[in-house]
Amino acid sequence: MDRRRFAQLSIAAAVAGSASSAAAAPGAGLTDDSIAAAWLATLPLIEAWAARARMTDPNARIKMAGLNAFVHARELVNARFRAITTPNNDTLYSQAFVDLTNGPVELAVPDVGERYQSVAIMDMYTNNNAVLGRRTPGGAAGSWTLVGPGMTAPPGAKIVNVATPHAWLLARTLVDGPDDLDAAHKAQDGLVLSGPPVENGSPAALRTAAWPDYFRSADLLLAFDPPPTKAGLAGLAALKDRSPSFDPAALGADAAIVEAGVKKAKALLAAASAHSQFKQGWQYPKADLGNFGADIVYRAIVAVAAIAALVPEEAMYLRAQGEEGILFHGDGLYQLSLPAALPVDAFWSLTMYEATADGQFFFTENPINRYSIGDRTPGIAKSSGGGVDVWISRTDPGGARSSNWLPAPKAGTFAMILRAYLPKPELLDGQYMVPAITAV
pLDDT tens track for 153-209: 888 999 999 999 999 999 999 999 889 999 999 999 999 999 988 887 777 899 999
Q: In percent, how much of the chain has pLDDT > 90? A: 79
Minimal CA–CA distance to 168: which of 248, 85, 111, 100?
A: 100
pLDDT of residue 317: 96
- CA 253, distance to chain mean position in Å, is 37
Q: Is the pLDDT of residue 337 over 80?
A: yes
pLDDT score, position 275: 58
Burial grade of 384 (CB within 10 A; 0-12, 13-18, 19 or more): exposed
Q: What is the mean pLDDT of residues 237-247?
A: 96
Whole-number mean pLDDT of the chain? 91
CATH superfamily of 312-439: Domain of unknown function DUF1214, C-terminal domain (2.60.120.600)
- Using CA atoms, how far apart are residues 346 and 333, in angstroms rounded to an integer? 29
Q: What is the 3-state secondary structure (H, E, C) of 373-397?
A: EECCCCCCCCCCCCCEEEEEECCCC
Q: Of 202-206, 293-297, 410-414, which gets the smallest average pLDDT?
A: 202-206
Residue 6 pLDDT exceeds 60: no
Backbone angles phi, psi at 139, to 5 degrees: 90, 155
Q: Any residues with CB less than 8 A from the CB of 182 and at least 6 apart, and which?
A: none
Q: What is the pLDDT of residues 99-126, one digit of tens each?
A: 999 999 999 999 999 999 999 999 999 9
pLDDT surpasses 90 at 233: yes
Burial of 149 (0-12, 13-18, 19+ CB in 10 A): middle
In the chain, where are the structural domains located?
A: 3-51+203-274, 57-194, 312-439
Within 13 Å of residue 155, how many CA atoms lie on the same side as its CB? 0
Q: For the domain made up of 57-194, give the CATH fold.
A: Immunoglobulin-like (2.60.40)
**Per-residue pLDDT tens digits for 212-232:** 999 999 999 999 999 999 999
Q: What pLDDT sits at residue 200?
A: 79
| For the chain, percent of residues with pLDDT exceeding 70 | 92
Residue 77 and residue 93: Cα distance in Å, rounded? 9
Q: Identify the CA nearest to 312 among candidates 416, 422, 418.
A: 422
Would the pLDDT of 25 be above 50?
no
pLDDT at 63: 80
Distance CA 147, CA 152 (A): 7
The pLDDT score that the predictor gives to residue 332 is 87
pLDDT for the residue numbered 57: 86
Count other Cβ atoms within 10 Å, centred on residue 247.
Answer: 12
pLDDT band for 14, please (50, 70, 90 cuts).
low
Name the pTM for this structure: 0.90
**pLDDT of 89 over the 70 cut:** yes
Q: How far apart are the C-alpha atoms of 26 and 31, rounded to whole Å? A: 13
pLDDT in tens, 311-331: 999 999 999 999 999 999 999
Judged against a pLDDT cut of 80, whether residue 375 lies above it is answered with yes
Instruction: Give the whole-angstrom CA distance, residue 349 versus residue 347.
Output: 7
List the beta bridge partners of residue 318: 418
- Please tell me the distance from the alpha carbon of residue 183 to that of residue 189, in angstroms, as a whole number: 10
* Amino acid symbol at 301: I
